[in-house]
Amino acid sequence: MILESARPRYQTVASGSPVDTLDGQRIGVISELRGQLFKVKTPRFHRDYWLRVDSVRSATPGQSVILNVSKASLDDIKIADP
């Protein structure tokens, strides 16, 4: 038997939502969803990348998606191409 509290709790993310790091840096906007992954469309001259939904600390409809890492640690969780 699996207890409800033992299950991972994934935040719901939506296409078009802005994405911020834990330290408040805006890194882009969600442009695509694919299973447990979402694609971050970045500003010009930066390569877009994918993140897992378990990297999200909070996601409230109509507000920014907040990641559970700082901008300095972002490269550790990026997925180039799923």
Q: Is the pLDDT of residue 6 over 50?
A: no
Please tell me the predicted confidence (pLDDT) of residue 12: 77
| Nearest alpha carbon to residue 8 among 50, 68, 61, 82 | 68
Cβ neighbors of 33 (< 8 A, separation 6 or more) are 13, 14, 15, 39
- Assess if residue 42 is contained within a domain: yes
Q: What is the pLDDT of residue 80?
A: 78
- Would residue 10 count as lying in a domain? no
pLDDT of 82 over the 90 cut = no
pLDDT digits over 16-57, tens only? 999 999 999 999 999 999 999 999 999 888 899 999 999 999
Strand partners, 41: 29
**Domain tally for the chain?**
1
Query: Measured in whole angstroms, how far is the alpha carbon of residue 39 from the centre of its chain?
Result: 8
* 9 domain-assigned: no
Confidence band for 11, pLDDT divided at 50, 70 and 90: low
Asked whether residue 1 is assigned to any structural domain, the reply reads no
So what's the pLDDT on residue 1? 45
pLDDT of residue 64: 93
